[in-house]
Chains A and B, each alone.
Chain A
Amino acid sequence: MIEVNITVNGEARTAEVPPETTLLTLLRDWGLTGTKLGCDEGDCGACTVLLDGMSVNGCLVLAGRANGCSVSTVEGLSVDGRLHPLQEAFEQHASLQCGFCGPGILMSAKELLDANPSASKSEIRIALSGNLCRCTGYVKIIDAVAEAGAKMAAHGGQSNG
């Protein structure tokens, strides 16, 4: 067993886990089930979270690797009940159908817009290339990310307010 200390969505957490435990498994064991397991081999992106601001597949990162790091998951997107512009735009555009890929896509989009809220549609496509969606055909997802980016750019890159 190894001890891991991770700050998840701003909250310090600690756990003793077998060394082969993935970050995805640990997050879900902590009750943060928003992050999904789709393929368990880094193909589908449903488990995407941000590790020190960088998007990673939670199923391919060992929990021990995240020790001492800061992790953001979909549960941390809204603050005090205020939706993130991405969440608002996804709702308005009906970008999620079954919704299973959504948490991963939202986190990949967050990474992009945090760095570049004015990202072009082709930059959005590249940023989401690691996330598979089987329902929507991506059009409404890309539109929503672009709209959220425009809103964030208008607020000087601020996401919640």
Chain B
Amino acid sequence: MVEKVKEATRDTVLETATLEALKDIDVAGGGAVARRKAPPPVLKPEARRQTPSVGQRVPRPDSRPHGTGETLYIDDMTLPGMLFAKVKRSEHAHARIVSVDTSEAEAMAGVMAVVTGHDVPVNSFGPSYQDQPILADTKVFHMGDGVAAVAAISEQIAEQAVERIKVVYEPLPAVFDPLEAMDENAPKIHDPAPNIYTRKVIKKGDVEQAFAEADLVLEKRFSTQMVEHVPIEPHAAIASWDSSERLTVWSALGRVTLGRADLARTLDLPINRIRVQSTFVGGNFGGKNEITMEPVLALLARKARRPVKGIYTRHDEFVSSTTRHPFIMDYKTGVTKAGRILGRKVRLVADGGAYCSWSETALGKAAILSAGPYVVDNLHVDAYAVYTNKTMAGAMRGFGAPQVCFAYESQMDDIARELAIDPLEIRLLNAFDEGSPSPTGQVLESVVVKNSLLTAADRFGWKEPGQ
């Protein structure tokens, strides 16, 4: 009975949708379109009928345990005999490692295992390029690199032991400015690989012709800074082996299957011997999208034959976990007197820091979105990701989108000011419509940018005097 009612409701919705679609086509195309045989049904989303959950208030299933303090995050979990790990970090931004002496740390009471980069079976990982060591062995590429790690019966002993590890470095010239890093004569950070490790180009129409025809051409450089995610829960993991040499890792990692593959690769272990247990995550924002110390904890745990927990300190978070890419963005835009964009040329330089991490993804997204939600028929985007000796940039909410948004929206305001046009009007004039192509040719559907702009302007009183 209930099923029948549901079916009937669904049929009604479909029928209404088809009628709506026909009406739209008639209005849009006049008689010619209306004569077309069997127009494809266009389903209009009907919130609360087709999708009854949309718009409903639903209690979050984890709200209550969060509020009572019952939720167990990694640091709230304890295994019998569990040890605590600390990582010894680099003292240089760029240096050759001459020697690592762990003997004094190993001799300390309460220290159960010490590992260095030479203990890692396959000492490289990364989602696009495997350019990042688990623990640096021959060279450090930035100050956040780990060079050794200790597992001890208490956090305090582990911390003291880390201080007794002696590392001799031969400092190398470091590069901190991504534009300098692009210079042919700059020190090669991942020698012999070039410092520019990813390039994305989008070419559409003829920008030079567009600039020649434009009434106004504006050119400006915009830049954004490095941003750390600062999840309130620092990176955390526990590694434990059973007696049949199977590894279990509890981790606050967002990408569990990728982490499992990275563990298999770096530990040179068949993937079916590894179980990665995802847990409650105390904030991610893209910063927990790849492994950090998980293989180190696994190696320490295997050596000590006891479970090992590792929690990043807040200092570790800032120097060693991924960040948002700082961008240097050169924008050149040609417009008509009325404010219509004719052409745009964009050069993006993403400071990737010491390792690629998610730069490929972030740069691609930044390049595609760099023209903004605007119709730009003539476009030339040239985007680079560059190594520097800084904390690596990776995934963070938006993957490169907020950086370019800052640049193109700032330039829209500059153009509006130059032409004495209302900043809202210039956006409405250029914004995407239903079916507009993206810079890479994707036909866009469900485009509501103009509605959103108008609604927002209405809500905050844009047209009222004094704005």
Q: Which A residues lie at the B interface, using CB under 8 A?
A: 28, 32-41, 43-44, 46, 73-75, 77-78, 83, 86-87, 90-92, 94, 96-103, 106, 132-135
Contact = CB atoms under 8 A, between A and B. Distances in A.
B61 to A, nearest CB: 11
Majority-rule SS of A interface residues: loop
Contacts of B284: 98
28 contacts: A33-B69, A34-B69, A36-B75, A36-B232, A37-B75, A38-B314, A40-B314, A41-B314, A77-B68, A78-B68, A83-B67, A86-B67, A87-B67, A87-B68, A91-B67, A96-B62, A96-B63, A98-B283, A99-B71, A99-B282, A100-B73, A100-B232, A100-B233, A100-B282, A102-B69, A132-B230, A134-B232, A134-B283
A90 B232 contact: no
B80 to A, nearest CB: 15
Contacts of A96: 60, 62-63, 66-67
Contact of B232 (A33, A74, A98): A98
Given A38-B233, A100-B233, A101-B232, A90 B67 contact: yes
A36 B63 CA distance: 17
A134 B231 contact: yes
B67 A38 contact: no
B72 interface: yes
A19 to B, nearest CB: 12
A97 B231 CA distance: 12
Interface in B265-299: 280-285
Contacts of A97: 60
Going nearest first, the 4 A-B pairs with the smallest beta carbon separation are: A34-B69, A99-B66, A100-B282, A74-B69
B441 interface: no
Contact of A36 (B68, B70, B233): B233
A107 B229 CA distance: 25
A10 B233 CA distance: 28
Interface string B108-119: 000000000000
Given A38-B232, A133-B232, A98 B282 contact: yes
A65 B306 CA distance: 34
B410 interface: no
A86 B313 CA distance: 30
Given A35-B69, A75-B69, A87-B68, A98 B63 contact: no
Nearest to B65: A99
Given A36-B232, A37-B75, A100 B283 contact: yes
A73 B68 CA distance: 10
A91 B61 CA distance: 9
Contacts of B234: 38
Which range holds the interface residue count of chain B?
Answer: 20 to 34
B163 to A, nearest CB: 16
B134 to A, nearest CB: 25
A132 B59 CA distance: 23
Nearest to A39: B314
A36 B282 contact: yes
Contacts of A99: 62, 65-67, 71, 280, 282
B64 interface: yes
Contacts of B68: 34, 74-75, 77-78, 83, 87
A86 B284 CA distance: 26
Given A32-B69, A98-B280, 11 more contacts: A33-B75, A33-B76, A34-B68, A38-B232, A87-B67, A99-B66, A99-B280, A102-B69, A134-B229, A134-B285, A135-B283
Contact of B69 (A37, A44, A73, A134): A73
Given A74-B68, A96-B66, A36 B283 contact: no
B69 A91 contact: no
A87 B64 contact: yes
Contacts of A133: 232
Contacts of A32: 69
Interface string B191-228: 00000000000000000000000000000000000000
B70 A34 contact: yes
A98 B59 contact: no
B59 A92 contact: yes
Contacts of B60: 91, 94, 96-97
A75 B76 CA distance: 14
B70 A98 contact: no
Contacts of B283: 98, 100, 134-135
Contacts of B232: 36, 38, 44, 46, 98, 100-101, 132-134
B67 A98 contact: no
Which of B67, B73, B75, B283 lies at the interface centre, i.e. has the most chain A CB atoms within 10 A of its CB?
Answer: B67
B67 A106 contact: yes
